[in-house]
Amino acid sequence: MATSAKKPAQRSTFKPQDYIVYPAHGVGQIEAIEEQEVAGHKLELIVVNFEKDKMTLRVPVAKAKSAGLRKLADAPTVKKALDVVTGRARVKRTMWSRRAQEYEAKINSGDLLSIAEVVRDLFRADTQPEQSYSERQLFEAALDRMAREIAAVNKVSETEAVKLIESQLAKAPRRGPKTAEAEAADDVDGEAEQEEAA
């Protein structure tokens, strides 16, 4: 019982010139939506240009959603992300390699709020101890992703977006040089968190 009626072509909610977010690469701009024939099948592709990375990506329209392709965040989400970076850093007491994987996953999730959490947690003020190279790399990757999306949403330059994020980070409660009492309090908090998790 084969049906001869072809299902209608899926209409893309994305249009040329739209800015979008692709989880693994951040903000890009749709150049075109084109049809190509691949292995005898017609395939509708979204052509995305990532100018900063000098890269073009073709995503099948049918796979756009499962690939995580999404429109830019709306203004309330941007505001929420900026509020996240002003919060207190939440750094788990686990091995750095484990935390680094979690940070990497958040950055590559394409979710603006998750990326904002990484920016918040890895930010170091001038008065704070120096970051390791890998911490710095992850912080800069998260800051770059966040700034690119905020710049596209607010229609400002990336430099202005970075300044906006940094001004929010400056408002956050600081983890200054620790006193012995603060260190002891943190250890007690850390033990309490581990007991809760157990």
Task: Please give the domain boundaries of the chain with CATH numbers for all domains.
Answer: 19-71 (2.40.10.170), 75-174 (1.20.58.1290)
For residues 91-98, average pLDDT: 90
Q: How far is residue 119's CA from residue 29's CA, in Å, rounded to a whole number?
A: 24
Cα dihedral 53/58/60/63 (nearest 10): -20
The enclosing H or E element of 22 equals: strand 19-22
Which pTM does this prediction carry?
Answer: 0.79
Percent of the chain at pLDDT > 70 equals 81
- Model confidence over 106-149: pLDDT tens digits? 999 999 999 999 999 999 887 778 889 999 999 999 999 999 99
Comparison of pLDDT for 190 and 93, the residue scoring more: 93
For residues 76-104, average pLDDT: 93
Radius of gyration of the chain (CA): 21
The answer to whether the beta carbons of residues 48 and 28 sit under 8 Å apart is yes
Other C-beta atoms closer than 10 Å to the C-beta of 76 total 8
Quote the mean pLDDT of the chain: 83
